[in-house]
Structure 1
Amino acid sequence: MDPVRNPYAPGAGSPPPALAGRTTILQDANVRLQRLRLGRSAKSLMLVGLRGVGKTVLLDQIRHDAESMGMQTVRIEAPEHRSLPALLAPALRLALLNLSKKEAAKDYAIRALRALAGFAGKLKVTYSDIEVGLDYDPEPGLADNGDLEGDLSTLLKQAGMAAKAAGTALIIFIDELQYVEEPQLAALISALHRCAQEKLPVTVIGAGLPQLRGRMGEAKSYAERLFDFPEIGPLSSTDATDAIVKPVRQEGVEIEDLAVKSIVEKTHGYPYFLQEWGKHTWDLAAKSPIRQSDVIEASDEAIAALDESFFRVRFDRLTPTEKKYLRAMAELGPGPHRSGDIADELGRTVQSLGPTRASLIGKGMVWSPTHGDTAFTVPLFDEFMKRIMPGDEWRSLGA
């Protein structure tokens, strides 16, 4: 098969050739955003799910849809060790400059830019990583108290007034939202609450790991009244089949039913893995139709590619103690697992492993579905841990 024509697109956030199984969530987001622009109530969305389920792809598609409807959007990613004000300030500046080009919104947008100047100037003492160009002098008393919660509320209020005057909505898209520290997350929720109370067309659509739901509830108890948290999971067998079949048929190629079934079973329907298996199967197949034997032969290459990219990039961030903890989890199976069972596997007490577990949660490697349970945030990571740390030598690691 011609590798140049390979239709599959494995990669972080890469849009697949067929966005299967996500129509309902996209339609729901579309309705919410149109209601927001009209000044009507609409809970915002926080897309939650494991790694590799396509949250980033969905987030970007919703943003694309919003822009096609004439809405003003901001897109940021929240990596570890960066403050939310530092990420928001330059992105909001660009959005406000765009709004200032509309005559009806010009004065409101300029006042919001003055608020941004006060916001950045005062908060730089606390958040030294803020770097943003300032187009107007700050207005004394406007978003310049040095208190993140109050100042961010004022800033987003001013931005919302500009968006309303322009007849549009300001949608802030934030990926990896689980990495935002709790006080900053609380400030963001509070600011959005104020905008909702004043019926201003400003909202956030976010994406994050499953622990995001709990973290937002801990940050502000009323978060559940502002947001819905649709869980983005693996595709159904039917949708996974579409994700594999439609791209090849668009290239004039056929694939046998048994080949498709084999890919779906090996990937458990996870979108990222479907793309990886599809890519390697296409490259290996000699001709159409693609056969089950092609899938079987390509599986070693697909697994190796996942090990060196999707899995390894996360494994390499771990300390020896953290690797040992995850290897013990893998010994118990896919999970979730009781903390006591993991401790027994390691010959340790639950209390002594608390800091390690907390560190792994902070790094986004595990999460707690229920109190006392621990689960991988990366699908099939238990199988990877067994491949990369085979046998029993891991038990003496760090001993």
Structure 2
Amino acid sequence: MSPITNPFAPGAGTPPPELAGRDELRESLRIAIARAKIGRPAKSAMLVGLRGVGKTVLLDRVRADAEAAGFQTIRIEAPEGRSLPSILAPQLRQALLRLSQIEAARAFAIRALRALAGFAGKLKLTFGDIEVGIDYEPEPGLADNGDLEHDMQALFEQVGLTAKAADTVIVIFIDELQYVEEAQMAALITAMHRSEQRQLPIVLVGAGLPQLRGRMGDAKSYAERLFDFPFIGPLPPEAARRAIEKPLADESVSITPEALDHVLTLTQGYAYFLQQWGSHTWRAATQSPIRLSDVVSASATVIAALDESFFSVRFDRLTPKEKKYLRAMAELGAGPHRSGDIAACYGARVSSLAPTRSSLIVKGMVWSPNHGDTAFTVPMFDAFMQRKMSGIDWRES
């Protein structure tokens, strides 16, 4: 079959041809945003889940839904090594400039832009990476105390008042939110709390690894009451089937039940892996229907591709001690595993491995589903580690 018409999209955050199994969550977020517009209580949401479940794709689809409904959106990613103010301020400026074109909101937008100027100017001393255009001179005393938590509250209040005057909602989308430092996370939570108290039309939709919930709770104890934390997991069997069958049917191609069942078994329902196996199986097949032998033939290629990209980009960031820790986890299976079991397999005391475990959590490689438990954040990483560090030499490394 022609590679040109291959319907599958196995990229990082690339929209799949069929976004299956996420309609209920999209609808709940649509309702929350619509409620915010009319001043009704609306909980913001944090989408949490492992790598490869489709959080980024879902985040972008919800953003498209919001824009189609006429709302203002901001989309940022929280990369490691940059401050939240530095990535948020330029996007807020663009949103405010758009709203300033609406007559009813113009005066509010100008005051919000003055608040932004004061916010960036004062915090430049703390966060040297803030770079934002200044359209109006700061208003003395408005978001310019130099205290991030206080100033972000004041800034969000002015942004919310502008959105309210414009009869719209500003929806802030932040991906990889787990990388935001705790003090900055606390400031963001406090600002959203103040906006909710004043019933201002600002909604935050974040996405991150499972440790995000705990990190937000550590930053502000009331975070779990302020936000919903829907867990984005593997697709249910019927949704996973549709994610493969519908794109094929749209190209007038079918797949045998045995072949489809094998794809679902291999991918465990994870959205990214479904796209990988779908794409490579399409390339391996010569005609419709796609057969079990096509899936088997494609699987070696899929695993090699995943090892070279999806898994290796994470493995290559690890220290030798971190690699050995993950290899010990892999020896025990997919997990989660007790810290004592990992230490026994590693050949060390639990206390001596605590810093290694902590650094792996910070890097987003593992998380703690329960006290004393450790689990991979990347599906199938246990099998990769066994392939990458095979034999028994790793124990002596």
State TM-score, norm by structure 1. Answer: 0.99
Counterpart amino acid of 1:125?
Answer: L
Residue equivalent to 1:108: 108
- Corresponding residue SS for 1:203: strand
Q: Offset at 1:236?
A: 1.1
Counterpart amino acid of 1:32?
Answer: A
1:354-365 to 2 correspondence within 5 Å?
A: 354-365=354-365
1:286-325 to 2 correspondence within 5 Å?
A: 286-325=286-325
Question: Partners in 2 of 1:203 and 1:126 — Cα distance?
Answer: 27
Residue equivalent to 1:18: 18
Question: Partners in 2 of 1:9 and 1:394 — Cα distance?
Answer: 36
1:188-239 Cα deviation digits (max 9, x unpaired): 0000010101110012100000011111111111111210000000011111
Residue equivalent to 1:170: 170
Residue equivalent to 2:352: 352
Question: Partners in 2 of 1:322 and 1:96 — Cα distance?
Answer: 44
Residue equivalent to 2:158: 158
1:191-206 to 2 correspondence within 5 Å?
A: 191-206=191-206
1:227-238 to 2 correspondence within 5 Å?
A: 227-238=227-238
Question: Partners in 2 of 1:110 and 1:184 — Cα distance?
Answer: 25
Stretches of structure 2 lacking an aligned partner (at least 5 in a row): none
Question: Partners in 2 of 1:108 and 1:62 — Cα distance?
Answer: 27
Question: Partners in 2 of 1:351 and 1:203 — Cα distance?
Answer: 41
Question: Partners in 1 of 2:94 and 2:63 — Cα distance?
Answer: 16
Flag as ranges the 4+ runs of structure 1 deviating above 2 A. none
Q: Offset at 1:68?
A: 0.7
Question: Partners in 2 of 1:203 and 1:82 — Cα distance?
Answer: 23
Q: Offset at 1:178?
A: 0.5
Residue equivalent to 1:207: 207
Residue equivalent to 2:375: 375
Residue 278 (structure 1) aligned with residue 300 (structure 2): no
Question: Partners in 2 of 1:97 and 1:208 — Cα distance?
Answer: 29
Q: Offset at 1:259?
A: 0.8
Residue equivalent to 1:37: 37
Residue equivalent to 2:91: 91
- Corresponding residue SS for 1:101: coil
Q: Determine what percentage of the aligned residue pairs are the same residue.
A: 67
- Corresponding residue SS for 1:74: strand
Question: Partners in 1 of 2:73 and 2:236 — Cα distance?
Answer: 31
Residue 77 (structure 1) aligned with residue 77 (structure 2): yes
- Corresponding residue SS for 1:204: strand
1:150-176 Cα deviation digits (max 9, x unpaired): 000000100000000000001100000
- Corresponding residue SS for 2:232: coil
What count of residue pairs does the alignment treat as equivalent?
397
1:356-387 Cα deviation digits (max 9, x unpaired): 10000000000001111100000000000011
Question: Partners in 2 of 1:371 and 1:50 — Cα distance?
Answer: 18
Counterpart amino acid of 1:64?
Answer: A
- Corresponding residue SS for 1:391: coil
Q: Offset at 1:309?
A: 1.0
Q: Offset at 1:3?
A: 0.3
Residue equivalent to 1:252: 252
Residue equivalent to 1:223: 223
Question: Partners in 2 of 1:225 and 1:336 — Cα distance?
Answer: 27
Counterpart amino acid of 1:135?
Answer: D
Residue 121 (structure 1) aligned with residue 121 (structure 2): yes
State TM-score, norm by structure 2. Answer: 0.99
Counterpart amino acid of 1:84?
Answer: L
1:13-69 Cα deviation digits (max 9, x unpaired): 011000000010001111111001111001111000000000000100010000111
Q: Note the aligned Cα RMSD (angstroms).
A: 0.6
Counterpart amino acid of 2:156?
Answer: L
1:77-130 Cα deviation digits (max 9, x unpaired): 001111100010111010110010111101100100000000000001000111
- Corresponding residue SS for 2:97: helix
Question: Partners in 2 of 1:222 and 1:161 — Cα distance?
Answer: 24
Residue equivalent to 2:134: 134
- Corresponding residue SS for 1:129: coil
Question: Partners in 1 of 2:192 and 2:335 — Cα distance?
Answer: 36
